[in-house]
Homo-oligomer: A and B are copies of this chain.
């Protein structure tokens, strides 16, 4: 059963939500306990049969989740009641193999790392879909001109392919950052009471390494119970992913606005409707992605602000990380999945882009005209002054800039009619657009670093 259905819109799809709910977390803690017993058996500290007996009981459905939660409120964390119940559940001979050498933090930290390891493939897959869709858009709209907009003003022509290529690179970079964290920084935490693994005698490091191997996590140099770089890096990578998705969503919402109307979210019955206005087509997905990005930053802020953990286990800052980390994973997955859907189904109106570009009557080409005048021998300051005069006249007389330029003697002599037409043709003033798109596509193929 997905938790918090009313907030569904902000979150991941049901399968991922199920991977991050309380049952999944409980199971991850039990998986750590089972793997720990097995690791102890690997080095001969306990009998393999006892480890197997422990493993057999490490199934979330055998535990009273709500009851553990209630006792956790008294104990200070859920591992204390969980271990008590697990010890009771296993045969007496196997009790010693339960939680051997470990402390609560070992289980919680490692289980959160497991949740991350289990969730990241969904994020990665969604990002890969999004990258592929963005690459397709970049290819298909490589030459479809669109107004470049800076500070919300038309600036110079770009192509929608360049817009999509920029999204692509942001997504590729974020995916690379997340993959690096997944590969290098997700590690087991195993230190016992205060980081020495004393009860394991000489076997501490070996148990830690077996545990890591069994769980598919890295083995750290030493316990990181109060050295929180790993969780900070994880949170940071999630922020990058949510931010890259949020950048796409921000642009899509901006390009969907009534006055611009250059793209639309994928149509679907019920999507983006309004309870009051039949005509609206809201950027519903974009809004939810943006919402997720805001919340992931908030969650990350908690993790970043909890780094100062004293001595061998902190009284509060560590506890503050648990929920924000889960939430950041959930929200980031949701953002990644939604942005993939958004890009795959994006409805692009290239004709409208061209209309928008022309709407200014040539104003968006002023840089190009100045450049052409200078290339035609006009002094840069004079070129700029000429164009500015025409711009002012276009404004005050409400006439197209092109007409005024055509009448200007400086322009006429420097460019001639054909030259002016060329100067005003956006396709002739795209500079490195194609080269940048190619570089982006090469990045997407992994051929080059972003």
Report chain B residues within 8 Å CB of A295: 302, 320, 323-324
In the complex with contacts A247-B309, A274-B193, A308-B250, A205-B432 CB distance below 8 A: yes
Contacts of A196 in B (CB 8 A): 148, 156-158, 162, 429-433, 436
Q: Which B residues are CB-close (under 8 A) to A429?
A: 196, 198
A148:B221 contact, CB within 8 angstroms = no
- When distances are taken between beta carbons in the complex, the residues of chain B under 8 Å from A246 are 307-308, 316
Tell me the smallest distance from the CB of A8 to a CB of chain B, in Å: 4
Taking a contact as CB atoms closer than 8 A, the residue among B244, B256, B282, B285 that contacts A229 in the complex is B244
Residues A317 and B294 in contact, CB atoms below 8 Å apart? yes
How far apart are the CA atoms of A359 and B279 in the complex, in Å?
A: 14
A300 to chain B: closest residue by CB:
B304
Map CB proximity to B onto A1-24 as digits: 1 under 8 Å, 0 otherwise.
111111111110010000000100
Chain B residues whose C-beta falls within 8 Å of the C-beta of A229 in the assembled complex = 170, 173-174, 177, 240, 243-244
User: A390 CB to closest chain B CB, in angstroms?
Assistant: 9
State which of B6, B173, B226, B247 has its C-beta within 8 Å of the C-beta of A68. Answer: B6
Min C-beta distance of A24 to chain B, whole Å = 10
Interface mask (A113-154 → B, CB under 8 Å = 1, otherwise 0):
000000000000000000000000000000000011111111
A381 touches B286 (CB 8 A): no
Q: Which chain A residues in 151-181 approach chain B with CB under 8 Å? A: 151-158, 162, 165-167, 169-170, 173-174, 177
Interface size class of A (residues with CB under 8 A): 35 or more
The DSSP consensus for interface residues of chain A is helix
**Quick check: B151 and A251 within 8 Å, CB to CB?**
no
Known A275-B83, A276-B103, A301-B297; contact A319-B288, beta-carbon cutoff 8 A? yes
> Within the complex, which residue of B147, B194, B323 is in contact with A156, where a contact is CB–CB below 8 Å?
B194
> A208 CA to B445 CA in the complex, in Å?
22
Interface pair B5/A66, CB less than 8 Å apart: yes
The interface bits of chain A over 77-116 (1 if a CB of B lies within 8 angstroms of the residue's CB, else 0) are: 1111001000000000001100100111000000000000
**How far apart are the CA atoms of A213 and B391 in the complex, in Å?**
38
